[in-house]
Amino acid sequence: MMAFRDSDGKITIDEIAADKDIKQLRLSISKMEMAVTQLKEIQIQTEEFSGNTGIRIRESAAELIKEITQSIQATEETIGRIQTAVAKYQQIDKDLKNTMNTGIRQG
């Protein structure tokens, strides 16, 4: 996410960059979801294996599914934080404009 400082040194958020970041994060989520689907398919295919090989593959796939699922959740939380930050700055901008407009009308 792109951020820059205004004349008072406060950090502001570039909405376009934030939107671009969110799109990239959603693309990452999509790829992770595809990986989970593929791992589940591998688990199904290895059910026919004999011996410990199939068991180990299924266990490894289950662990990877768990890790990827956690990464998806963390990525979704990141998207939420970005959206919250953007909304906060949009509200600050709106409030500032209202204050300036009120001051101009009163002045």
* Element of type H or E holding 83: helix 52-106
Q: Distance between alpha carbon 6 and the CA centroid of its chain, in Å?
A: 26
1-23 pLDDT, tens digit each = 445 566 677 777 788 999 999 99
Provide the 3-class DSSP secondary structure of residue 1. Answer: coil
The verdict on pTM exceeding 0.85 is: no
43-100 pLDDT, tens digit each = 999 999 988 999 999 999 999 999 999 999 999 999 999 999 888 888 887 887 888 7
- The secondary structure of 18-73 as a DSSP string is HHHHHHHHHHHHHHHHHHHHHHHHHHHHGGG--SHHHHHHHHHHHHHHHHHHHHHH
List all residues 6 or more positions away from 79 whose beta carbon is below 8 Å from its beta carbon. 22, 25, 26
